[in-house]
Structure 1
Amino acid sequence: MKAPLWHLTWRSIANRRLTALLTVVSVALAVALLLGVERLRHDAREGFASTISGTDLMVGARSGPVQLLLYSVFHIGNATNNVSWQSVRDIAALPEVDWLVPLSLGDSHRGFRVVGTTDDFFAHYRYGRGHGLAFADGRPFGDVFEAVVGAEVAARFGYRVGQSIVVSHGAGEATFAEHDDKPFTIVGVLERSGTPVDRSVLVSLEGIEAIHVDWAGGARLPGVNISAEHVRKFDLSPKSVTAALVGLKSRTAVFRVQRRINDWPAEPLLAVLPGATLQELWNVVAIAERALLAVSALVVAVGLAGLVAVVVASLGERRRELAILRALGASPGQVFRLLALESLLLGLAGCVLGIMLLSVAVAVAGPWLETRYGLPLSAGWPSAAEWRLLGAVLSAALLASLVPAWRAYRYSLADGMTIRI
């Protein structure tokens, strides 16, 4: 046998090109799924950590870092206490602070959180890779009873600029106390960002104060009804807020400012780094990403099992071919290497095609996922982790090829030339 081994392998694959193509496609789909899950896991982790970016510190009443993050950013749960407005003003006046955006929570609209803030929120809130909030229609609020709704709120109820909405006291779906005497007019609809802002109704701090002027203890004062027009004559400066987003002039001062706020003399406060706390929160739910990666690994195993099944099933038809190779001088070791190389090439072709399929999928679905769910998928060359997974797939393909190669090795020349009836 004078022909090179790789040439014989290629001719053998070409002779069964349809079966080989189906095998390669099966492996490619499994590899694309495995790499896609790994990239989705990695980018989801980075995107989660960038739910709020560009903010150096988050300040709230002293509790726990994760709890502060959950209620102030993700609107899950409630604050243990508020931060006095005087402390907010004093923190904003610190020489290291560049900007401060207060957040006031506690009310809702048809199950969605109402967030009282200032118009600086639209200028300084960042997510993902430094993306800012954009308006699909309208503008930021400028009056006491003007509101801006997130994309999901607008889509759920069909809201448009100019419509009126009523805010309910308290959070959650079941709210029975409504501020129906002081409705808000929608003046802006935000584009979808894939962040909790999509599920929020944004109003001014003065608006939050206005709807509670004639309320006390979570209920309207008996016999007191101050109209929306008359409430403007009151001092609507907030007395306290739930939390605040803080941006510093220099990030080198972040730990110094954090310690100063954590030791605030006027009241017990907590300042946390959003990025570090988001990573801590992600570690709590990381078991889900590991389970997803395990499932995709099982899919790859099934794909490689299919490769082995195809090659083994073809051995019965190839006994005469292998016997002829033996008659032409091929040793059992060369037959072994022929089958092993064939399976390895099919696995390699599946990996290459899988990378191509993943690149096409990212190019097509990436922009939609980032716009719809705020999940940025990175296109480009596989990362180090993905290369390790590809190496593991090729190693598994090589190990799987040993099964049919060993069976071919055991076929004798006499067995291959025997006519079976």
Structure 2
Amino acid sequence: MTPLLSLSLRSIANRRLSALLTVVAVALSVSLLLGVERVRNDARDGFAQTVSGTDLIVGPRGGAVQLLLYSVFHIGHASNNVSWQSMQRVAALPQVKWLVPLSLGDSHRGMRVVGTTADFFRHYRHGEDRALAFAHGRPFAPAPEGLFEAVVGAEVAMRFGYSVGQRIVLSHGSLGGDGGPRFADHADKPFPIVGVLARSGTPVDRAVLVGLEGIEAIHVDWHGGAPIPGLTIGPEHVRKFDLSPKSVTAALVGLDSRIAVFRVQRQINTMDEEPLTAILPGATLQELWSLVGVAERALLAVSALVVVVGLAGLVAVVVASLGERRRELAILRALGASPPQVFVLLALESVLMSLAGIVLGLGLLYGAGALAAPGLAAGWGLELGLGWPSAGEWRLLVAVMAASLLASLVPAWRAYRYSLADGLTIRI
């Protein structure tokens, strides 16, 4: 160990309380900066994997982001539906492995109702290719056995206290809810809950899933978006009707090989029978994130300012201690220490405290991450990574270290300018 390093460590130990507080301040700012960066990256990755394993999303002709919003996030409305014949033509393409239709437009107490097929539970993936899991119950059965069966998402079940066996009533329209605009209820055709999904952190948590035939069944005695006056067809008679879907809102499509995704996309977009739009969900999710990701960049900037404040506190503590250390520095000069050596001594002390703060900050980050990861995964579907720092995080650490080195020059320069006579002079 060099004499300057040994002297720096002994000087820090002599002022252990102020040094400890400074190290903790730097550690908290570093852990906040890295925590925001890690959550930002994990949130972006999770957002991009809201729907995974789906190669294409098909809907009516329109914008890619709009199609993604209403089909995956259940935000907004489709300009029009897609005929069932067009969905069958897409499903019949040689490269298409599976197709899961989605029918939107109804709601339950402000939550979206999604009409689909039992294949939805087999093919819908999120995150790292994770399938939907059931906390209780099972998927709804195909019609006619499961004509009026429903599966509710985790947030729906938690908010309204639902459990398997309860019966719910769907409402016509997608804006109704407690305290909001009311739409006509399909009260004559209730749906028993047969399954409650485990929390996934996706929009499925806020959805009620029923069969496509169930959506058709509740509208048998409706026409033009309103009930037919004087006509009521009960659930015991509705099974006699043809409940094949006439149209759907969109569809999730999986291919035999992802190599063919652009070719199939072009085939769907150029179909002559009906104008359709096929989008790549991953690319569109990244486009959407670029629109809504301003907040996370602002949060990163705020955390960087916190680091600056922490380093400013470090400089303030070291500079404030110089007044008490003038005699100490003068003795060092009298013993033969040159002004550059005094400069290096003070700079080394600041750098060592910064380095200790960075190491402690990393420890706080991993400790807090280990404690918070299960709750974030269960409550928000955010998979918080606890691996080795990424390249971006290493760059931030290098930037913090460089900033601390620059900050250390301030007290070092002040000490450099103290002369031997100034240190030994008795001030009255």
Match of 2:332 among 325, 332, 343: 325
SS in 2 for 1:270: strand
- Which digits, 9 at most, give the CA deviation of each residue in 1:287-324, with x for residues without a partner? 11110111000100110011011101111111111111
- Distance across 2 between alignment mates of 1:380 and 1:323: 48
CA distance in 2 between counterparts of 1:22 and 1:380 reads 28
User: What letter corresponds to residue 187 of structure 1 in structure 2?
Assistant: V
Aligned residues: 420
Amino acid at match of 2:311: L
The C-alpha deviation readout for 1:140-174, integer Å capped at 9, x for no partner, is 01111110000000010000111111000001132
**SS of corresponding position for 1:159:** coil
Q: CA deviation at 1:418?
A: 2.1
1:16 is displaced (CA, Å) by: 1.0
Distance 1:220 1:3 in 2: 89
Work out the CA distance in 1 between the residues paired with 2:328 and 2:244: 90
Matched, 1:192 2:195: no
Matching residue of 1:128: 127
Match of 2:424 in 1: 417
Q: Give the alignment partner of residue 144 of structure 1, picking from 127, 147, 150.
A: 147
User: Structure 1: how far apart are the matches of 2:427 and 2:211?
Assistant: 88
- Partners of 2:236 and 2:426 in 1: CA distance: 102
CA RMSD of aligned residues (A): 1.1
Q: CA deviation at 1:229?
A: 0.8
Structure 1 residue identity aligned to 2:140: F
The answer on 1:180 being equivalent to 2:187 is yes
1:393 corresponds, among 393, 396, 400, to 400
Map residues 304-323 of structure 1 onto 2, 5 A cutoff.
Answer: 304-323=311-330
Give the alignment partner of residue 403 of structure 1, picking from 410, 413, 416.
Answer: 410
Shift of 1:3: 6.5
Partners of 1:383 and 1:367 lie apart in 2 by: 21
**Following TM superposition, by how much is the alpha carbon of 1:367 offset from its aligned partner in structure 2, in angstroms?**
2.5
TM-score by length of 1: 0.98
Q: Report 1:14-413 matches (<5 A).
A: 14-142=13-141, 143-172=146-175, 173=177, 174-413=181-420
Q: Distance in 2 between matches of 1:87 and 1:328?
A: 91
Stretch moving more, 218-227 or 350-359: 350-359
Q: CA deviation at 1:218?
A: 1.4
Measured in 1, the distance between the counterparts of 2:317 and 2:206 equals: 51
Q: Distance in 2 between matches of 1:261 and 1:345?
A: 62
TM-aligned CA deviation for residue 379 of structure 1: 1.2
Provide structure 2 residue ranges, at least 5 long, that are not aligned to the other structure: none
1:239 shift after superposition = 0.4
Identity %: 76
Provide the residue aligned with 1:8 in structure 2: 7
Gaps of 5+ in 1: none
Distance 1:273 1:154 in 2: 31
**How many Å separate the matches in 2 of 1:285 and 1:84?**
32
TM-score (norm 2): 0.97
- Alignment partners' CA distance in 1, 2:373 and 2:128: 14
Partners of 1:76 and 1:175 lie apart in 2 by: 18
CA deviations 1:214-234 (Å, max 9, x no partner) are: 001111100100001100111
Q: 2: distance between equivalents of 1:279 and 1:62?
A: 20
Provide the C-alpha distance between the structure 2 equivalents of 1:405 and 1:238, rounded to a whole number of angstroms.
Answer: 78
- C-alpha separation between the residues in 2 aligned to 1:416 and 1:131? 68
Q: Which runs of 4+ in 1 moved over 6 A?
A: none
Give per-residue Cα distances to partners, 1:168-189, cap 9 Å, x unaligned: 0001132221101101000100
User: How far apart in 1 are the matches of 2:312 and 2:54?
Assistant: 49
Distance 1:224 1:315 in 2: 91
Amino acid at match of 1:271: A
Q: Deviations over 1:112-163 (max 9, x none)?
A: 0000000110111111111110000000011111100000000100001111
What CA distance in whole angstroms lies between the structure 2 residues aligned with 1:125 and 1:362?
Answer: 28
User: How far apart, in 2, do the equivalents of 1:378 and 1:175 lie?
Assistant: 43
Instruction: Deviation per CA, 1:260-311: give whole Å up to 9, x if none.
Output: 0001121000000000000000000121111011100010011001101110
d(CA) in 2 for partners of 1:222, 1:206 = 23
* Greater shift in the superposed pair: 205-214 or 314-323: 314-323
Partner Cα separation in structure 1 for residue 21 and residue 203 of structure 2? 44
> Secondary structure of 2:50's partner?
coil
Once residues 328 and 128 of structure 1 are traced to their aligned partners in structure 2, the CA distance between those partners, rounded to angstroms, is: 65
Equivalent position SS for 1:75: coil
Equivalent AA in structure 2 for residue 148 of structure 1: V
Q: Deviations over 1:372-409 (max 9, x none)?
A: 11111111111111111111111111111111111111
Offset of residue 370 of structure 1: 1.9
Q: In the TM superposition, what is the alpha-carbon distance from 1:72 to its structure 2 partner?
A: 0.4
Q: CA deviation at 1:366?
A: 1.6
